[in-house]
């Protein structure tokens, strides 16, 4: 059989009958065989070991699976979305995401992700009405948002406000209601929190933007005339107009961006949401936690890095020289490659088309021309072709959002609005899974053992270099101030 996973001292082997052999690599001790269950996944997933079926055998063998970054670990069985890494396709509940982006709307796709099927005309109308009637924020939430500094990052404001909603809705917390199965048993309560969060996240993001630019908040549309994305753009941009309507072409482009970003299988933020949801906390804290992961520089910071790279290149005729530097590891090629996709990222395909569409209705952007040329060079360079390096979602997303007039620090908030639909679907699937238990990863302890406590006077008196340097620098600063005052007094 082939090696499933190997640590320094133990190995996992599978025989032709699907049994697992557990043995010490550095020992002649007899192997032990454990009957296991294997799951044949679709497409690029391949064979997956069902760990729960071998817990007893693994415990007896003193064995744990060590997967440092969870790259080969599946934490759930899901019906929501499937990213086919080798074909470069993304499916939402079995529907091709690219076709949905062409023909559907964000709210319709959100319904599909959360409830499993596209809505009927009646269901879609009621869904839209419910979401749009939950776009208003409590005045105390707005008062809290007004206290943030003008230079507060919109994502920090958004996360804090999402978390604060938990305090404004104690009825949403299963612990405070004395019912750990609150959302499993009460479908109406479950649906109420879904439409609340989806409706309010766009309003929170818009208010965070208005804080950033020092303008008063706009009240969400109450007339029923505006759809979700149109209402969001209105809250961002309306000044004193009584009947402001955003450009419908920009509305449609942003709506399709939300669709492309709404889910992507399992990733850092989504797995964190499921991890937190397993504790049975309320959905506000779950979405706030996922947003915190999304805020990380390895996720949201990539958009800024792409723009800096394009600005460094400066012009289309300098692309080849930059690519040569990237091949020599003297520059980082941002917006290319993906830990999952080993083909052209389907979201990047959607966003590339949207970028070209946006270019036709705006003044364009030289960075888009550079990105398109960079894409062409990389896709036809054997160095990258053999390494299966393709554009990812960030290459064109950052340029599009910039072309639409958003500041770079608002990119992550835009992503969060779209991703909230997928997060709510993941939250719902997690809490409705009857087999779900609290997530409890293990660790491999590599620290000290059996150390003896020493009284403080008997411990090593050698100073901590970092603390000593820190103390000395402050001492020098105080001495300089004292000396300056003494000199001035003598004068």
| pLDDT grade for 56, boundaries at 50, 70 and 90 | very low
338 is catalytic: yes
pTM: 0.86
> Whats the size of the chain, residue-wise?
491
81-84 and 47-50 strand pairing: unpaired
Mean pLDDT of the chain: 87
Instruction: Point out the least confidently predicted range of 32-46, 193-207, 342-356, 435-449.
Output: 32-46
User: Do residues 97 and 347 lie in contact, with contact meaning Cβ atoms separated by under 8 Å?
Assistant: yes
Residue 91 in 3-state DSSP? strand
Q: Region 225-231: what's the mean pLDDT? A: 97
pLDDT computed for residue 65 by the predictor: 76
The structural domains of the chain, with segments of one domain joined by +, span 3-61, 91-295+422-432, 301-403
Residue 202 and residue 196: Cα distance in Å, rounded?
Answer: 11
The catalytic residue among 221, 263, 394, 409 is: 394
319: number of Cβ within 10 Å: 22
Q: Which helix (H) or strand (E) holds 167?
A: helix 154-168
pLDDT computed for residue 5 by the predictor: 40
pLDDT computed for residue 6 by the predictor: 33
Residue 98 has pLDDT above 70, yes or no: yes
Residue with tokens 């072309």: 403
Instruction: Retrieve residue 238's tokens.
Output: 């309306």
Residue 119 in 3-state DSSP? coil
Q: Region 14-25: what's the mean pLDDT? A: 59
pLDDT computed for residue 397 by the predictor: 96
144: number of Cβ within 10 Å: 16
Closest CA to 235 of 151, 132, 332, 82: 132
pLDDT computed for residue 225 by the predictor: 92
| pLDDT grade for 161, boundaries at 50, 70 and 90 | very high
Q: Region 4-9: what's the mean pLDDT? A: 38
DSSP letter for 396, please.
H
Q: Which class is domain 91-295+422-432? A: mainly alpha
User: Do residues 182 and 189 lie in contact, with contact meaning Cβ atoms separated by under 8 Å?
Assistant: yes
Residue with tokens 């790259």: 71
Q: Region 241-253: what's the mean pLDDT? A: 95
User: Do residues 18 and 61 lie in contact, with contact meaning Cβ atoms separated by under 8 Å?
Assistant: no
Residue 35 has pLDDT above 80, yes or no: no
| pLDDT grade for 260, boundaries at 50, 70 and 90 | very high
Residue 353 and residue 344: Cα distance in Å, rounded?
Answer: 14
Residue 320 has pLDDT above 50, yes or no: yes
Quick: pLDDT tens for 166-214: 999 999 999 988 898 899 999 999 999 999 999 999 999 999 999 999 9
Residue 453 has pLDDT above 60, yes or no: yes
CATH architecture of 301-403: Orthogonal Bundle (1.10)
The catalytic residue among 338, 369, 381, 439 is: 338
3-state helix, strand, coil in the chain (%, to 5): 55, 10, 35
Higher pLDDT, 17 or 417: 417
With pLDDT > 70 as the criterion, what percentage of the chain qualifies?
A: 81
Q: Give residue 180's Cα distance to chain centre.
A: 27
- Integer CA distances (angstroms), 426 to 59, 169, 233, 334, in order: 31, 21, 27, 29
| pLDDT grade for 31, boundaries at 50, 70 and 90 | low
pLDDT computed for residue 242 by the predictor: 86
Q: Which helix (H) or strand (E) holds 50?
A: strand 47-50
Residue 434 and residue 462: Cα distance in Å, rounded?
Answer: 56
């Amino acid at each position: 059989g082939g090696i499933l996973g190997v640590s320094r001292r133990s190995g996992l082997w599978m025989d032709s009958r699907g049994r697992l052999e557990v043995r010490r690599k550095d020992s002649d001790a007899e192997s032990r065989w454990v009957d296991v269950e294997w799951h044949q996944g679709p497409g690029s997933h391949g064979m997956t070991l069902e760990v729960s079926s071998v817990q007893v055998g693994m415990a007896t063998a003193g064995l744990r699976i060590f997967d440092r970054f969870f790259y080969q670990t599946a934490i759930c069985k899901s019906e929501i979305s499937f990213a086919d890494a080798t074909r470069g396709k993304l499916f939402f509940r079995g529907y091709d995401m690219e076709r949905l982006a062409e023909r559907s709307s964000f709210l319709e796709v959100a319904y599909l992700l959360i409830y499993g099927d596209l809505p009927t005309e009646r269901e879609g109308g009621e869904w839209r009405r419910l979401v749009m009637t939950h776009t208003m924020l409590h005045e105390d939430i707005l008062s809290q948002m007004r206290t943030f500094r003008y230079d507060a990052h919109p994502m920090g404001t958004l996360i804090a406000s999402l978390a604060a909603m938990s305090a404004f809705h104690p009825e949403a917390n299963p612990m405070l209601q004395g019912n750990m199965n609150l959302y499993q048993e009460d479908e109406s309560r479950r649906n109420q929190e879904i439409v609340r969060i989806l409706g309010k996240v766009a309003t929170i993001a818009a208010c965070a933007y208005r804080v950033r630019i020092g303008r008063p908040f706009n009240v969400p549309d109450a007339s029923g005339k505006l759809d979700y994305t149109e209402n969001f753009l209105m809250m961002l941009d309306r000044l004193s107009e009584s009947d402001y309507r955003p450009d419908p072409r920009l509305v449609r482009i942003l709506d399709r961006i939300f669709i492309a970003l709404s889910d992507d299988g399992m990733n850092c933020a989504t797995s964190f949401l499921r991890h937190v949801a397993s504790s049975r906390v309320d959905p506000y804290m779950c979405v706030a936690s996922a947003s915190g992961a999304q805020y990380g520089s390895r996720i949201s910071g990539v958009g800024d890095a792409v723009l800096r790279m394009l600005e460094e290149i400066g012009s289309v005729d300098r692309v080849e020289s930059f690519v040569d530097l990237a091949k020599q590891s003297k520059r980082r090629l941002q917006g290319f490659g993906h830990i999952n996709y080993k083909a052209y990222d389907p979201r990047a395909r959607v966003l590339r088309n949207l970028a070209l569409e946006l270019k036709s209705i705006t003044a364009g952007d030289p960075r888009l021309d550079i990105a398109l040329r960079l894409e062409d060079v990389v896709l036809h360079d054997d160095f990258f072709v053999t390494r299966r390096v393709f554009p990812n979602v960030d290459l064109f997303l950052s340029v599009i959002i910039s072309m639409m007039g958003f500041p770079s620090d608002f990119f992550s908030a835009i992503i969060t609005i779209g991703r909230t639909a997928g997060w709510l679907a993941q939250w719902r699937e997690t809490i409705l899974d009857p087999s779900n238990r609290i997530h409890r990863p293990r660790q491999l302890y590599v620290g000290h053992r059996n150390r003896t406590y020493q009284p403080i006077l008997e411990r090593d008196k050698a100073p901590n270099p970092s603390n000593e340097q820190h103390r000395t620098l402050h001492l020098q600063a105080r001495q300089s101030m004292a000396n300056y005052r003494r000199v001035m007094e003598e004068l």
